[in-house]
């Protein structure tokens, strides 16, 4: 999805002490000639032998057969082939204590020629649709249902029986318990008001005032509604609210308690206990949903479990696909524990309340040429493993985050060996709107290369650890709804070191209700990052530049191109607060720094001092960062909140009418910035596959 191609950005590596051990070559496992084969097909039989002529029918049966084959042939190259078709999902498939070897990994793969055509589905097509107004259900519907349907919407609504799609749990306000409807890859909208975006409330009316540096409000969830429309909601059995109640980086679901009139103004009272721990500000953003009375727009649906009916207004465009309801409600489809040298390739995992693949306490597990889509929770987790990764794989239409990666040992600086290569994560954090990134990386020694991250209300990556490398990735159209975030966001731990962000393209990351959004945001004392050779286009807004540094030190920002940004770099200095965090036991930051830097790790150890010698002076020279040899073109400002601690050298600032990245790359002006070429075709996922068949 690159918007820029066939041009060159000129960068040169500055040879410094900044080197990450995550700069390891990614070596994919071989595909050995199978010596033992197990075949599976949608029309197979779990009582069959599992041969190509008599295949098994389910993933679970294939796993059982693979375990038996491994025991019978411990040194053989083992391959499980899945034939083309759809495999309905019913229960979690558990793989435990199964191991191949480095030269003969166990393969679970699509049959030759079937890559992308093998789907493990957790959805069901909904049958029996009929116009609501002409249905027997409507003619016999109780008054409590009839009065909730808008007369002007009645002729648009279709209805169908719900019994066949009923799940054990259903709670649209609980992550992992929302039953979604899809038409193709398009999520339908649980009936809501307003139909798009947010309504702006009036004054917060609780009894306990709250004052902050940015907003005022009240502790209690009582506020003036945006419209008299809300008065319809009191007839609904489970009306829900979603909002950014105080801070625009913190959202949650609430239940509607009551609606009342005060001096002719409708007032919403949130049902206790409140989920917003920060309170409710004046003029907050919210919407109401899960209400039949708000089913009025194409693409909306509503599930009435009491009436055992589903209601839907088809999309306005010509309808060629039937809608599907997600029915797989287990936390994971595939659970892998205590395994080694397994490869899952050419498979599609589609639809679930939870996620697709969970990998724990395993070594050398690879997902390749896979598609993971239409899950409500985080899609893939890898925890407590080593040398695991993913390549040539796409995650899209995800309700929570993409990859949750936790591995390595920060205390001993032992690398996890995790990697993502040539992957896409698109349209994520659809339900959990903040802090649900495409990558949540915690630990030590991870590499992310040639990936694309796009389409989110908030951040694409959180790097929480050491020796992380992000290179040749394309970040765009992020932080579209929340505030005070970054395309990459890192928070409050100055012992995160050895992290490099280089040769990436950042586009259209602005956010912006109060603070805005940065391409890269180093928040609250994040230090020692090396950010170089990147392209930032239209990043930063309000009080943030394309890179935002908040109270950290020892960061090096060099050899980047900034085009049409709010500013190249913005700073928020901590000053005395930084010093007190290390020296004053009365400081609220002091216990956190003791825990983060001397208990979770030990920055005084010989290992850490040898690896990061700058830690010897961690309490000195707060807010000293270096910004050098960057080219800053057509930015509104060069720096925001610049201060004496910033070391500047060789930055070039210019206004060039009509400049584009293509035109800048063709200009002799680059030579004045001391930059040399790198092909943009290297940025983002590259063509290729693992299976190559």
> What confidence tens digit (pLDDT) does each residue in 578-605 have?
999 999 999 999 999 999 999 999 999 9
Residues 225-249 have pLDDT tens digits of 999 989 999 999 999 999 999 999 9
Predicted pLDDT at 680: 80
Predicted pLDDT at 693: 85
Distance (Å, rounded) from C-alpha 605 to C-alpha 608?
5
Mean pLDDT of the region 9-22: 49
Predicted pLDDT at 3: 36
At 664, the pLDDT band (50, 70, 90 cuts) reads: confident
Q: Is 615 helix (H, G, I), strand (E, B) or coil?
A: helix
Distance (Å, rounded) from C-alpha 405 to C-alpha 419?
9
CATH code, 36-110: 3.30.1910
What are the distances in angstroms from CA 563 to CA 276, 509, 511, 650?
38, 12, 17, 17
Residue (of 468, 448, 462, 525) closest to 490 by Cα position: 462
Torsion angle, CA of 643/644/650/654, rounded to 10 degrees? 30
Distance between start and end Cα atoms, the chain = 24
At 663, the pLDDT band (50, 70, 90 cuts) reads: confident
Statement: residue 626 has pLDDT above 70: yes
Distance (Å, rounded) from C-alpha 642 to C-alpha 663?
30
Where is 86: in which H helix or E strand?
strand 85-88
At 6, the pLDDT band (50, 70, 90 cuts) reads: very low
Residue (of 554, 556, 560, 570) closest to 636 by Cα position: 570
Statement: residue 477 has pLDDT above 60: yes
At 351, the pLDDT band (50, 70, 90 cuts) reads: very high
Residue (of 36, 47, 144) closest to 81 by Cα position: 36
Residue with tokens 């947010």: 198
Give the tokens for residue 357: 């693949």
Answer whether 515's CB lies under 8 Å from 483's CB. Answer: yes
Within 13 Å of residue 530, how many CA atoms lie on the same side as its CB?
A: 21
Predicted pLDDT at 319: 67
Predicted pLDDT at 5: 34
Predicted pLDDT at 7: 37
Distance (Å, rounded) from C-alpha 235 to C-alpha 55?
54
Statement: residue 9 has pLDDT above 70: no
Distance (Å, rounded) from C-alpha 100 to C-alpha 123?
32
Where is 611: in which H helix or E strand?
helix 606-611
Predicted pLDDT at 47: 97
Predicted pLDDT at 676: 64
Q: Is 0.85 surpassed by the pTM of this model?
A: yes
Mean pLDDT of the region 317-338: 91
- Domain 333-682 in CATH 1.10.357? The answer is no
Statement: residue 15 has pLDDT above 80: no
Mean pLDDT of the region 422-433: 97
Q: Is 172 helix (H, G, I), strand (E, B) or coil?
A: coil
Statement: residue 11 has pLDDT above 80: no
Round the average pLDDT of the chain to a whole number and report it.
94
HEC profile of 174-214: CCCCCCCEEECCEECEECEECCCCCEECCCECCCCEEECCC
CB atoms within 10 A of CB 75: 9
Residue with tokens 């287990």: 330
Predicted pLDDT at 17: 45
Mean pLDDT of the region 127-149: 95
Predicted pLDDT at 4: 36
Residues 277-292 have pLDDT tens digits of 999 999 999 999 999 9
C-alpha 458: how far from chain center: 8
Distance (Å, rounded) from C-alpha 395 to C-alpha 685?
13
Q: Which residues contact 668 (CB under 8 A, 6 or more apart)?
A: none
Predicted pLDDT at 22: 84
What proportion of the chain, given as a percentage, has pLDDT over 90?
A: 89
Statement: residue 14 has pLDDT above 70: no
Predicted pLDDT at 512: 81
Residues 147-197 have pLDDT tens digits of 999 999 999 999 999 999 999 999 999 998 999 999 998 999 999 999 999
Answer whether 469's CB lies under 8 Å from 498's CB. Answer: no
Mean pLDDT of the region 257-264: 92
């Amino acid at each position: 999805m690159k918007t820029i191609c066939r041009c060159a950005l000129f960068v040169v590596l500055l040879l410094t002490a900044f080197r990450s051990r995550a700069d390891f070559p990614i070596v994919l496992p071989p595909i050995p000639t199978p010596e033992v084969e197990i075949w599976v097909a949608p029309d197979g039989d779990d009582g069959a032998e599992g041969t190509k002529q008599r295949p098994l029918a389910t993933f679970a049966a294939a796993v059982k057969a693979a375990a038996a084959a491994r025991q019978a042939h411990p040194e053989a190259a083992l391959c499980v082939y899945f034939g083309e078709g759809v495999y309905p999902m019913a229960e979690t498939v558990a793989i435990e204590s199964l191991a191949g070897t480095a030269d003969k990994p166990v393969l679970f793969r699509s049959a030759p020629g079937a890559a992308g055509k093998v789907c493990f589905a957790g959805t069901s097509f909904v049958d029996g649709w009929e116009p609501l107004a002409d249905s027997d259900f409507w003619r016999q519907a109780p008054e409590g249902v009839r009065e909730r349907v808008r007369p002007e919407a009645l002729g648009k609504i279709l209805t169908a029986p719900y019994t066949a799609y009923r799940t054990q749990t259903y709670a649209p306000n609980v992550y992992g318990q929302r039953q979604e409807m899809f038409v193709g890859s398009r999520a339908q909208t649980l009936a809501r008001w307003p139909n798009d975006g947010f309504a702006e409330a009036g004054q917060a009316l609780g009894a306990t005032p709250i004052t902050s540096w940015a907003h005022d409000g009240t502790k209690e969830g009582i506020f003036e509604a945006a419209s008299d429309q809300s008065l319809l909601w009191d007839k609904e059995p489970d009306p829900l609210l979603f909002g950014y109640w105080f801070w625009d980086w913190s959202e949650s679901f609430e239940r509607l308690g009551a609606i009342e009139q005060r001096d002719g103004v409708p007032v919403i009272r949130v049902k206790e206990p409140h989920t917003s721990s920060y309170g409710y500000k004046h003029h907050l953003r919210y919407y109401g949903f899960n209400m039949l009375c708000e089913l009025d727009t194409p693409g909306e649906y509503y599930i009435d479990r009491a009436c055992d009916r589903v209601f839907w207004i088809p999309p306005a465009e010509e309808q060629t696909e039937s809608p599907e309801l997600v029915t797989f409600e287990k936390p994971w489809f595939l659970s892998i524990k205590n395994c080694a040298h397994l490869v899952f390739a050419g498979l599609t995992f589609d639809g679930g309340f939870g996620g697709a693949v969970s990998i724990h306490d395993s070594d050398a597990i690879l997902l390749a040429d896979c598609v993971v889509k239409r899950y409500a929770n985080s899609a893939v987790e890898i925890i407590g493993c080593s040398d695991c990764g993913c390549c040539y794989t796409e995650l899209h239409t995800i309700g929570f985050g993409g990859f949750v990666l936790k591995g390595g040992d920060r205390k001993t600086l032992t690398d996890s060996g995790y990697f993502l290569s040539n992957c896409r994560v698109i349209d994520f954090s659809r339900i959990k709107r903040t802090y649900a990134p495409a990558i949540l990386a915690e630990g030590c020694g991870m590499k992310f290369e040639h990936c694309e991250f796009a389409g989110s209300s908030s951040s694409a990556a959180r790097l929480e650890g050491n020796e992380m490398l992000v290179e040749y990735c394309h970040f765009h159209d992020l932080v579209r709804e929340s505030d005070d975030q970054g395309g990459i966001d890192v928070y409050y731990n100055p012992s995160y070191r050895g992290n490099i962000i280089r040769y990436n393209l950042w586009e259209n990351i602005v956010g912006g209700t109060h603070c805005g959004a940065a391409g890269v945001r180093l928040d609250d004392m994040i230090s020692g990052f090396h950010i170089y050779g990147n392209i930032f286009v239209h990043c930063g807004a309000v009080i943030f530049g394309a890179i935002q540094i908040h109270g950290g030190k020892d960061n090096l920002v060099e050899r980047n191109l900034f085009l049409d940004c709010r500013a190249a770099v913005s700073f928020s200095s901590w000053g005395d607060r930084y010093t007190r965090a290390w020296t004053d036991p009365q400081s609220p930051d002091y216990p956190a720094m003791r825990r983060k830097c001397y208990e979770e790790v030990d920055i005084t150890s010989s290992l850490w001092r040898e690896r990061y010698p700058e830690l010897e002076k961690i309490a000195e020279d707060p807010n000293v960062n270096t910004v050098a040899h960057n080219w800053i073109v057509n930015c509104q400002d060069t720096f925001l909140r610049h201060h004496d601690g910033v070391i500047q050298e060789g930055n070039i600032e210019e206004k060039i009418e009509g400049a584009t990245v293509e035109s800048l790359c063709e200009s002799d002006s680059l030579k004045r910035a001391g930059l040399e070429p790198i092909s943009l075709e290297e940025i983002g996922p590259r063509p290729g596959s693992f299976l190559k068949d």
